[in-house]
Structure 1
Amino acid sequence: MKEKDVISKPLNANSFPVDVLPDKLRKIINEAHATLGFPKDYLAGSMLTAMAAAVGNTHAVEHMDGWKEYVILFVALVGSPGSNKSHPLSFAMQPLIDFDAEQAALHTEALKRYNAAMELPPKERATNGYDLNPAEPIRKRFTMQDVTPEAVHRILSENPRGLCLVSDELAGWFKNFNRYNNGSESEFWMSVFNHKVAMSDRKSSQSGVFIKNPFLCVIGTIQPKVLGELAGNNRNANGFMERILYVMPSDQKKVKWNRDRKAPSFGIAAEWRSILGRLIDIAPKTTEHGDIEPEIVPFMPEALDRLFSWQNEVTERCNTDGSDTLTSIASKLEIYAVRFCLLLALADWACSGKKKKAVEVATVERAIRLTEYFRVTAAGVQGIVSEDSLTEIQAAVLSDLPDTFTTAEGVAIAAKNGMKERTFKKFLSDRRGVFFTRDNHGIYSKI
């Protein structure tokens, strides 16, 4: 698919490319959709995030020398009330939550032993079967839910492999951002997204938190009407919004209950647990200092050629269009494309059980298709956010414009609504890819 076709593709024609996933995952998604009514988009997006969380810091790719990318995903399941977002998310995350429950039980017992040791004088600990200087046990985990910023920093520092923040209502995540001072939490999360050193110094903490290689995925549900709040506090201008992958099915209808619905024809939960368990069981390599040393999954030369040619095509298109919105979206999505290459390669390995191999051309092609899905949904989200912020004159002009129009026709319609020609052309340029697409030179269509 050419980039021009992708950018002009309407949201209602966009569906999650389930076929880019390994066959075993496709079968689970299709069966869950047919028997449980799970929207494929939500389940596929949730499963990708769960796999990314399980991989964590154990693997990375280098598409350029010295530039490592990890499978950190920020995902928003966008849907109207009753569109069945939460159940697919719970299904995908359940194996990670079960692992966390097992680790919580082990931690409780270890903590009891630690407390018992600390109650004894040092000289008596060894004679009673305890270490002389026991270390306080740390709870291993993959997931967090609705925690305070301080807790996020602490838990992440205790789990260097990585974590996933799972929030049934994503609004609870970003509403904490300005709890202390403007932008403090947004900056922390942008550092996490870039896998850069994250630091936190709070008066309420006994000591600051230093996280050398933060790995933290985020996933949650959000209603379209709340997207404006997500874009608030400058988050739609500082690149934060573009760091989020929006899963947004075109069909947002409430699902009816069906007493005649058949049970799954195979154990989809057990099959999913087996696949994700293979990723969970990865034993990370560590350095002499205890830091996780990622295994680098290499690109085949022809795979890198395809990745670079795609990025160049998108960049050329952005430079020609001159749309800041599309360029900002493209800048983050090209990072995600690299991450998808790694994630899909590891998903193939988890499903097949075969030896890991380099990223191939076919994997890059699948990653590109996945990326293009998210390009369309990102533009759709920008449309929702931008519509809420339209001035009265802009809304009137947008309403009066026909589905297809020339620049001259648009200028005339704008003038009738009190908008100057220069202002209209800037409006047309700024909202390209959001409200308008350019079909040809001087010819536009409304999305």
Structure 2
Amino acid sequence: MNAMPEPIPFKPDWPAPDMTISQPARPVAPVMSAEEFALTFGAWAEWVQTAARVKGTPVDYVAAALLGTASAIIGNARWATPWQGWKEPPVLWVMLVGDPSAGKSPALDAVLDPVKDIERRLSEEYKERRREWEDRDEIAALALAQWKTDAKRALAESDDTPRKPDAAEAGAPPMRERVTISDVTTEKVASLLAASWRGLLLSRDELSGWLGSMDRYNGGGDRPFWLEAYGGRSYTVDRKSSPEPIIVDHLSVSILGGTQPDKLARLLVNTDDDGLLARFLTVFPEPVPLSRPDREIDSDKLQAAFERLRALPSAFDDAGNKRPFLVPFSDAAADALQEFRGECRKWEAEAAGVFKGHIGKMPGLVVRVACVLAHLDWAAMPGAPFPDEIDQRHVGRACFLVGDHLRRHAFRAYGASEPPEEVRNVRKLAALLLRDKPRRVTVRDIQRRELGGLQTAKQIEAAASALEQADWLRRVVEETGGRPRTFFVVNPRIWEAA
């Protein structure tokens, strides 16, 4: 490879260069201190940190997966109400953003493996209930056949027909309880929720395929369904195969999964800005060093906590129908939330695009996260009474997590869109100058580097012109008696600034 030209004498009249032109579009991932992490996640901080070390994954992935999964298990049993007229389900949508080797799947496994054990138990219980129902159904079929025979005879003999016996009805077959789903139709989701009432967790290793395909076959009909699934409101699904619609009292589905930065970037460009992406709590940490685990995950502790959350009872309305138990905020907690709303208003004024929409959702997210944190605290203390209010401590932790920490993760993720080719070329040339430290450079010098996007004179001229405007370069034209010779002098202050 040819060397760059020899340095030219330093000139002291160079202005300060604009170094922002060389900075990547993606900011550095925020990191909590050990003290902040312990205060935020309380009784679960040590468990999350251990699971992250064992799985070789960032703690943010495990912590976010824990919140998302717990939100689904609590489901419609407990909703939070900061004040009169405002109530929020604990439903959280969580997206883990990172490269394929960043550790997203191991983090999901750490939290979801105990859920699989719960679902295996639920499956065994369902099989037993199904066998018992089938036995009753066979007896009911015999009783029904005998009743029909007796009724025909009575009609033939003009006698009073016998009343249909209770034994002729086996009742509805038992429902197979579910905690998680992976790839089902909206009609199937509605059927499961109508039968189970509590709520579900949609878990996907890769969310981009699900997000990108929901409009593919039905002209966007799935998007309103999922927007409603975030709010926990009642929902009705009309079926072609049946005159009876599916009526869901509380359409509550938490979502948990991962995606890669480039796939998220394409979604940001191609997806309608209807607030769907803005609803996600997004974590986009830096990868952690590879290491061998030196301890084990206490999966039994997490499974026991999830079992306690599943056992949370619902409330009932005057007609005896299930409804969410509303957990109120204390006065101090409501005051803290109101102060946070004011901060969000300031952040929102400076934001744009999906990130602006995300900030608009943050007060509601704080309510939801505070509810989940309060119940995770309770689930870690066997024998403790049910949480009867959400206090200032829970809201303060949620405000810090959502407003300070995860807001910066969201900015990092939503700013990860691939920049235009012209911007990439400018940054590529800037990186070359910072690395090789030449005092002057020509178009031909750069062409010899054979860098993608900086191969033609037109591409290089465009990138160099941008760096001229940023005071990185000065164009010099030398008269040679023939065709003028052009080169670019490099501002030596770029290396000081870098």
Same fold (TM over 0.5): yes
Shift of 1:87: 2.1
Q: 2:416 aligns with which of 350, 371, 384?
A: 384
Query: Secondary structure of the residue that 2:90 maps to in structure 1?
Result: coil
**CA deviation after TM superposition for structure 1 residue 371, in Å:** 0.3
Structure 2 spans left out of the alignment, 5+ residues: 1-24, 148-164, 432-461, 467-498
Q: Among residues 102, 121, 127, which one is paired with 2:142 in the alignment?
A: 121
**CA offsets, 1:221-276, max 9 Å, x none?**
212222134336533x11111011112212266x35x3xx4233xx6111212222
2:247 matched to 1:230? no
Question: 2:295 aligned to 247, 258, 263, which one?
Answer: 263
CA positional deviation for 1:336 = 0.3
The aligned residue for residue 491 of structure 2 is none
> For 1:350-389, what aligned pairs fall within 5 Å after superposition?
350-353=379-382, 354-355=384-385, 356-372=387-403, 373-385=405-417, 387=418
Partner of residue 12 from structure 1, selected from 18, 26, 29: 29
In 2, Cα distance between equivalents of 1:215 and 1:394? 42
* Distance (whole Å) between structure 2 residues aligned to residue 9 and residue 393 of structure 1: 17
After TM superposition, give the deviation of residue 13 of structure 1 in Å: 3.3
SS at match of 1:71: coil
SS at match of 1:339: helix
The change in CA–CA distance for 1:313 and 1:398 in structure 2 (over 3 A counts) is: farther
Question: Alpha-carbon deviations, 1:64-116, whole Å to 9, x = none?
Answer: 31211111011111121122221221221233322222222222233344344
Q: Which moved more, 1:339-348 or 1:281-290?
A: 281-290
- Does 2:369 align with 1:340? yes
* Structure 1 residue aligned with 2:122: 103
**Structure 1 Cα separation of the partners of residues 127 and 167 of structure 2:** 17
Rounded Cα–Cα distance in structure 2 between residues aligned with 1:196 and 1:174: 21
For 2:146 and 2:41, the matched residues in 1 are separated by 53
How many angstroms does 1:393 deviate by?
5.3
Note the aligned Cα RMSD (angstroms).
3.3
Match of 1:26 in 2: 45
For residue 20 of structure 1, report the CA deviation from its aligned partner: 3.9
Higher Cα radius of gyration: 2
Maintained 8 Å contact 1:303/1:364: yes
User: In 2, are the aligned partners of 1:20 and 1:367 still within 8 Å (CA)?
Assistant: no
User: Are residues 327 and 53 of structure 1, via their aligned partners in 2, closer, same or farther at CA, if it must alter by over 3 Å?
Assistant: same
Whole-angstrom distance in 2 between the partners of 1:134 and 1:300: 45
Q: Paired residue for 1:425?
A: none
Q: Relative to 1, partners in 2 of residues 1:160 and 1:360: Cα closer, same or farther, differing over 3 Å?
A: same
Conserved 8 A contact 2:142-2:168: no
**Aligned CA distance change for structure 1 residues 369 and 284 (closer, same or farther; 3 Å):** same
Q: 1:248, 1:377 within 8 Å by CA — same for their partners in 2?
A: yes
**Higher alpha-carbon deviation: 204-213 or 26-35:** 204-213
Identity of paired residues, percent?
26
Partner of 1:58: 77
In 2: Cα distance, 1:391 partner to 1:233 partner: 15
Q: What's the CA shift for 1:169?
A: 2.1
- Residue 304 of structure 1: aligned partner: 334
- What residue identity is the alignment partner of 2:359? A
- Relative to structure 1, is the Cα distance of residues 206 and 83 closer, same or farther in structure 2, using a 3 angstrom cutoff? farther
1:77 alignment partner in structure 2: 96
The 8 Å contact of residues 11 and 376 in structure 1, kept in 2 or not, is answered as no
Describe the superposition over 1:252-307 as per-residue Cα deviations: whole angstroms up to 9, x where unpaired. 66x35x3xx4233xx61112122222212212223355532222222121221111
Q: Which amino acid aligns with 1:121?
A: L
Counterparts of 1:400 and 1:125 in 2: how far apart (Å)? 89
In 1, Cα distance between the equivalents of 2:246 and 2:185? 14
| Per-residue deviation, 1:401 | 9.8
Moved more, 305-314 or 392-401: 392-401
Cα deviations by residue, 1:289-338 (Å, 9 ceiling, x for unpaired) = 5532222222121221111012112203433x364554312111221011
How has the CA–CA distance of structure 1 residues 22 and 378 changed in structure 2, closer, same or farther, with 3 Å as cutoff? closer
* Corresponding residue number in structure 1 for 2:205: 168
Say which is worse superposed, 331-340 or 22-31, in terms of deviation. Answer: 22-31
Q: Secondary structure at the match of 1:12?
A: coil
- State the alpha-carbon separation in 2 of the partners of residues 313 and 350 from structure 1: 31
What is the letter of the counterpart of residue 339 of structure 2? S
Q: Give the Cα separation in 1 of the matches to 2:393 and 2:300.
A: 28
Aligned pairs for 1:282-301 (under 5 A) are: 282-287=312-317, 289=319, 291-301=321-331
Judge conservation of contact 1:71–1:342 (CA < 8 Å) in 2.
Answer: yes
Distance, in Å, in 2 between the alignment partners of 1:233 and 1:56 is 31
Higher alpha-carbon deviation: 237-246 or 106-115: 106-115
The alpha-carbon deviation at position 368 of structure 1 amounts to: 0.7
Q: 1:362 to 1:191 in 2, by over 3 A?
A: same
Q: CA deviation at 1:160?
A: 0.7
What are the superposed Cα offsets for residues 103-160 of structure 1, whole Å, 9 maximum, x if unpaired?
Answer: 222222333443444442344799x996624212111121112223332222122221
Answering whether residue 59 of structure 2 is matched by residue 40 of structure 1, we say yes
The one of 302, 308, 331 equivalent to 1:278 is 308
Question: How far did residue 36 of structure 1 move?
Answer: 4.1
Point out where structure 1 has 5 or more consecutive residues left out of the alignment. Answer: 1-7, 403-412, 418-447
